[in-house]
Amino acid sequence: MSEKYIGIDIGGTSARIAEFESLESDKIERRQDFKISGRYEEDLKRLIDSIKKLVGDDKAAGIGLGVAGEHAPDRSRLLHSAHLKDWGEKPIRDDLVSEFDCPVELLNDAEAAAWAEAAFGGHEEDFWFLTWGTGLGGSIVEQRPGGPHVVASEPGHHVICWEESGPLCNCGRRGCFESYVGGAYLERHYGKPPAELSDEEWNEVTDWFARGLYNLVRIYPVGEAVLGGGVTDKQSRHLPEIERKTNEHLKNVGTVKVSKASHGEDAGVVGALASLRQD
Ligand SMILES: [Zn+2]
């Protein structure tokens, strides 16, 4: 019998579960995916069955679980989630601990993606990690003596336009960074998906992105911003333009490199694994 590590990524509609040999490798040994019902008891049972199937006769040595939503400060449960309403206040961490008798780390999906990059992206300096998908999430990754550390942040909800004309954000405020660049907002604003925007429209989007990123780098000065998420995956050709425009704003005070995250769609499971390295 050997020890296996499990990384789990739960989105609004699906769960990805991956098995790893150790905390030091991002190589996925085996995986299982299933549709999430949103009903806690049912999803928990499928989660437990899937982990057991992956682990087989071996022992789970640690489970990292990334779930979109707002988490309790003690990281034992979700407080609420837009997609998984029935999961709110349910003791997901302790339910998995009592089933598998191993450490379980609960974190949100944006933190998990940052952990994947922090642990396996080959970075030596601090950086901003931004998840550019339907919205804009992100964290600061600090290189500390004991290893990288992910500082949760809300860069998507820093306001870049305080005028009444600023677009309405899902958080209720107007003019948030996210409301100018998030995939869902682009679709609302331009009336078509990001893939169909014209060069001129993309020019506006990268203008706004560079303004937001300029602020982030002035507040937390780092030399690199790493971008992940669904919009980044499909639209990475715009990253050099975002870098160029941000550096134009930054002239005389520094430069920032804008790069694409290393793990694509697997960032959630790899990051959930990496989060088990804490403590
Ligand atoms: Zn907002």
Q: For the chain (length 279 residues), average pLDDT per consecutive 10?
A: 94 90 95 93 96 96 91 90 86 97 92 94 96 91 92 92 93 95 95 95 98 97 95 96 98 94 93 89
Q: Where are the alpha helices (DSSP H) in 80-182?
A: 92-100, 109-120, 177-181
CATH class of 122-261: alpha beta
Residues 6+ away with beta carbon under 8 Å from 184: 134, 135
- The 10 Å Cβ neighbour count of residue 48 is 14
CA of 118 to the centre of ligand 1 (A): 26
Predicted pLDDT at 279: 61
What's the rounded Cα separation, in Å, for the pair 26 and 21? 9
What's the rounded Cα separation, in Å, for the pair 100 and 54? 13
CA of 158 to the centre of ligand 1 (A): 7
What's the rounded Cα separation, in Å, for the pair 267 and 102? 23
Q: Are 61 and 4 in contact (CB under 8 A)?
A: yes
Predicted pLDDT at 32: 94
CA of 177 to the centre of ligand 1 (A): 7
3-class SS of residue 208 = helix
pTM of the model: 0.88
CA of 166 to the centre of ligand 1 (A): 11
What's the rounded Cα separation, in Å, for the pair 12 and 265? 15
- What fold does the segment set 3-107+266-277 form as a domain? Nucleotidyltransferase; domain 5 (3.30.420)
Predicted pLDDT at 90: 94
For residue 20, give the nearest of 29, 8, 33 by alpha carbon. 29
Distance of CA 200 to the CA centre of its chain: 29
The boundaries of every CATH 3.30.420.40 domain in the chain are: 3-107+266-277, 122-261
Q: Are 160 and 208 in contact (CB under 8 A)?
A: yes
CA of 154 to the centre of ligand 1 (A): 9
What are the residues whose beta carbon lies below 5 Å from ligand 1 (ion)?
A: 157, 169, 171, 173, 176
CA of 143 to the centre of ligand 1 (A): 28
Tokens for 164, please give them. 């009444």
CA of 171 to the centre of ligand 1 (A): 4
CA of 194 to the centre of ligand 1 (A): 19
Q: Are 256 and 225 in contact (CB under 8 A)?
A: yes
